[in-house]
Amino acid sequence: MTRPLVSLVLFLVPVLSQGEASVSSAGSKGSRVYTWSAVNTQTEQAKVILKAVRSWQGKKDKDAGKKLRVVYFHPKDRKPLKDHVSRWNGIMNDIQDFYRSEMKRLGYGEVLLGLERENGKLKLHEVSGKDKDDGSYTYKSGGKIKGEVFNALQAKGINPQEETILIVCGLSKTEGKKVTIYSPYYGMGANHIYGLCFTADMDWLTIDGLRPDPTKTILQVKEHRGYEPFTLARFNTTYVGGAIHELGHGMSLPHNHATKNEATRGTALMGAGNYTYRKEWRDEGKGSFLTHSSALRLLVHPLFSGTTKQCKESPKAKYGNINLSHTEGKIHIRGNIGSAIPAVAMIAYNDRENKGQRGYMVNKDYDATTWTSVVSPGNEFRIAIGDLREGNHQIRLLSVHANGATVTKRMHYSMKAGVPDFTRAKKEIAKILSN
């Protein structure tokens, strides 16, 4: 049954034409006919987006752009855990392989996460803490460890405020098959210029541990609760998966949930993908995958793009119009955007407010599905949001710019009996267009 049409349109400039004609704002490329039906699928979008990105980037930097700084932190009275260099070389190589294969699957070719290497292996910046392992460092010590790591990097001539940093904390104890973890384990505020995230090291942590275990080893693991039994495979999936998930936050990726169509591939990495990482290696499920929205943000991130061209410049994004409507069971967002740094794609995060949960973002956004659009030569975009559900929602409309920057605008609606109420969104769109 066709739902009634609910539509909201606000303009700062007049509509120049109907159908597939784009709407132009001041400074855009003008009105052009664009065949939107040719970019309905993710694969079709990827071709257009990749061409736009490559056209703007031009030649890559001689040093292939920025590199991820991986720091190994340990208390002053403890050495790094056994075989930490070889184990983390293997872990980061696998993380790099995951991103490479997922970006290729999504149509973006050979896109690599930039890793610092030394003598052919991962370079670890080892930092010894100022305090002992006597309770001075805990899960809540992220700020303290950050300060000590930043001081150590600055002493090397590295400006940590312009780096993406993964801090691997040697803050665990292993007694046989008993593992106690008390490390910070989260990502902190990040964008395409700066990012910081924490993960933990343990003696049992290794890429080989992700594969079938003929020894049937069972570990007793304690982190936030009491000791729990983990198979060796589940342990490594959880904590290697945790490392790549937190690194995603360090590279500015928020949580998101697979759409119904995407879920046929498995679990979104930036959803609960830290608990399914590489499960397919053991025939235990479909494992984790990268959503298109996450791939778009990584494609232009200086750690992946191979260039820092104009990365510190503001995109100065400004919307010419935003059209929000509902028909055939989907919310349609159409608009026009102009910017100093080209917008190469658009993403809409559709985030429902759950029962007992007030607000959005910061561990409340795991259920946010994502929907994407190319940006036409006339600077127009069209996003169709599906998988609609009842309740209150926030749409985070995000422009992805060629230099890695993103700009987010928020609007809210509620859904009742299958029909959305855009009353609040109308006021928010007016404010967006007036800025």
Confidence of residue 355 (pLDDT cuts 50, 70, 90): confident
78 and 104 inside one domain: yes
391: in domain: yes
Residue 399 lies in a domain: yes
- Measuring CA to CA, how many Å separate 413 from each of 95, 258, 394, 399, 424? 37, 21, 7, 20, 6
Does residue 328 share a domain with residue 237? no
| Domain-terminating residue out of 260, 285, 302 | 302
In a shared domain, residues 161 and 289: yes
Both 102 and 216 in a single domain?
yes
Quick one: 271 and 388 in the same domain?
A: no
> Coil, strand, or helix at residue 327?
strand
Q: Are residues 405 and 422 in the same domain?
A: yes
How high is the pLDDT of residue 245?
97
Distance CA 209, CA 198 (A): 21
Would you say residue 130 lies in a domain? yes
**Of 373, 306, 308, whose CA–CA distance to 344 is shortest?**
373
Q: Per-residue confidence at 258, pLDDT binned at 50, 70, 90? A: very high
**Residue 64 falls inside a structural domain:** no
What tokens does 379 get? Answer: 């600077």
Q: Which of 302, 328, 362 is the last residue of a domain?
A: 302
- Residue 178, H or E segment: strand 178-181
Are residues 169 and 314 located together in one domain of the fold? no
Give CA–CA dist 381/262, Å, rounded.
Answer: 22
- Domain presence at residue 159: yes
- Banded model confidence at residue 31, pLDDT cuts 50, 70, 90: very low
Q: Can you give the pLDDT at residue 360? A: 66
Same domain, 317 and 271: no
Q: Is 63 a domain residue?
A: no
| 348 and 421 fall within a common domain | yes
Model confidence, pTM:
0.91
Residue 12: pLDDT above 80? no
Q: Give mean pLDDT, residues 366-392.
A: 96
What is the rounded distance in angstroms from the CA atom of residue 190 to the CA atom of residue 126?
A: 22
List 412's β-bridge partners, or say none.
394
Give the single-character DSSP code of 363. Answer: S
Q: Specify the range with the lowest mean pLDDT, choosing from 273-287, 356-370, 387-401.
A: 356-370
How far is it, in rounded angstroms, from Cα 239 to Cα 265?
21
pLDDT of 28 reads 39
402 close to 52: Cβ distance less than 8 angstroms: yes
Helix extents (H) in 13-139: 42-57, 84-105
DSSP 3-state of 321: strand
* 372 and 292 Cβ atoms separated by less than 8 Å: yes
In terms of domains, do 264 and 319 share one? no
Give the whole-angstrom CA distance, residue 337 versus residue 59. 26
Could you tell me which residues come within 8 angstroms of residue 359 by beta carbon, excluding any fewer than 6 positions away?
353
Instruction: Give residue 22's pLDDT.
Output: 28
Range of the domain at 362: 6-58+310-434
The burial of 239, by beta-carbon neighbours within 10 Å (0-12 exposed, 13-18 middle, 19 or more buried), is given as: buried
Do residues 256 and 268 lie in contact, with contact meaning Cβ atoms separated by under 8 Å?
Answer: yes
Q: Are 310 and 117 in contact (CB under 8 A)?
A: no
pLDDT given at position 189: 81
CATH of the domain at 321: 2.60.40.10
Q: What is the CATH number of the domain that holds 224?
A: 3.40.390
Contact between 105 and 295 under an 8 Å Cβ cutoff? The reply is no
| Average pLDDT for the chain | 91
Residue 330: phi, psi to the nearest 5? -135, 150
- How confident is residue 13, by pLDDT bands cut at 50, 70 and 90? very low
User: Which residues pair with residue 350 across a beta bridge?
Assistant: 369, 395
Instruction: Report yes or no: 50 and 57 within 8 Å, Cβ to Cβ.
Output: no
Q: Is 287 left (phi over 0), alpha (psi -120 to 50) or beta?
A: left
Interhelix angle for 292-299 vs 42-57, to 10°? 10
Q: How many domains does the chain have?
A: 2
Which tokens in the block code for residue 75? 């208390």
DSSP state for residue 160 in the 8-state scheme? G
Q: Looking at the structure, do residues 296 and 179 belong to the same domain, yes or no?
A: yes
Q: Are 193 and 211 within one domain? A: yes
**Residue 363 confidence class, pLDDT cut points 50, 70, 90:** low
Q: How far apart are CA 183 and CA 104, in angstroms?
A: 34
Q: Determine contact, residues 45/355, Cβ cutoff 8 Å.
A: no
Q: Within 13 A of 10's CA, how many CA atoms are on the CB side?
A: 16
pLDDT surpasses 50 at 252: yes
CA angle 336, 109, 386 (to 5 degrees): 45
Q: How confident is the model at residue 324 (pLDDT cuts 50, 70, 90)?
A: very high
- Domain end among 302, 331, 352: 302
